[in-house]
Structure 1
C-alpha cells in the first residue's frame, strides 16, 4: 500500500506511514471479533513504529530531551469488525503540526476496506513536570519531511 501526501499548515508535505499487524486469538472477544480497545493498541504501536521509522525512539526522546508524547484527545469511529487472523494495515499521517502538539489521522484497514478511523491529538510534555514542552527543531524538521 502506498501512502498519499498531506500538507502541514506551514505548507510542507507529510506522507502517510503504513504498518501491518496480524490479529491474534488474544485480540478477539467472545463474539470472535477484535475487542474495541485493541484498535487503540494497534494504533499506538503504529505511532511508535512511525517514530522509529523517522529515527526516534521514545526512550531516546525522554533521555535526551526530557520529552514524552502523550495522547491528549482521541475520537474513534468503528465501521466493520476485524476478525481472527486478519492482516490489518494501520495508516498514520499528521494533519496538523504545532510547536508542542500534533493532530493525526489513523485508519485501520483490511486490504482496502476501512474498519475504523481515529483522529488523535498528541501533546509533547516534559517528562519531569508533565507540562507542555516544544518539540525540538530536529524532530519538527523530521515530521515535516516524513
Structure 2
C-alpha cells in the first residue's frame, strides 16, 4: 500500500465569508466535504453509485477541527485529504486546508464517517467500496 493524498483547489467567494471578509468557520466543513467526495471519485467511487448499487451512504459522526489562520475573500485554497481508517462500518479522513499562494496551514481536521443503510442503521462498508480504497490508505489500517 502506498500513501495517498488527494488535493483539491477551492476559491473563497464572498458568500463563504462573514461581514469582515473572513471565511465563516462552518464553511471549512463544506470545503472538506467537497474534497472527500473528490477523493472517492479519484479512487473510482461515486457516492450516488454506491447508494444505488449497495443501498448505503456515509454520514459524518465526528469532526475535530483546529483553526490555525483565517482564509479571506478571494483566497485560493488547497484542501488535502488522506484516508486514515477503513474498519467495519467506519471510515476516517485527515484533512488540511492551506492558502495556496503561501502554503499557510489554515485548518486541519479529523473527520469520521459511518456507513449507513437507507434506513439509517450502521452497515458494513461493502467490499467493492473497500477494495479500491486499499491503495489510498494512510497509514495501513484495514479490517
Q: TM-score if structure 2 supplies the norm length?
A: 0.89
- Corresponding residue number in structure 1 for 2:110: 119
- Corresponding residue number in structure 1 for 2:14: 25
- Corresponding residue number in structure 2 for 1:3: none
CA offsets, 1:85-116, max 9 Å, x none?
Answer: 11100010111221211121000001321101
1:134 aligns with 2:137: no
Q: TM-score if structure 1 supplies the norm length?
A: 0.87
CA distance in 1, matches of 2:48, 2:68: 34
CA distance in 2, matches of 1:100, 1:88: 31
- Corresponding residue number in structure 2 for 1:64: 53
Q: CA deviation at 1:145?
A: 1.4
Aligned positions, number:
134
Q: CA deviation at 1:132?
A: 1.1
Moved over 2 A (4+): none
CA distance in 2, matches of 1:87, 1:32: 14
Q: Which runs of 5+ in 1 are unaligned?
A: 1-11
CA distance in 2, matches of 1:104, 1:51: 11
Structure showing greater relative contact order (alpha-carbon pairs closer than 8 Å, 6 or more residues apart): 2
Q: Which runs of 5+ in 2 are unaligned?
A: 137-143
Q: CA deviation at 1:13?
A: 2.9
CA distance in 1, matches of 2:32, 2:117: 23
1:55 aligns with 2:44: yes
CA distance in 2, matches of 1:80, 1:26: 19
CA distance in 2, matches of 1:13, 1:131: 32
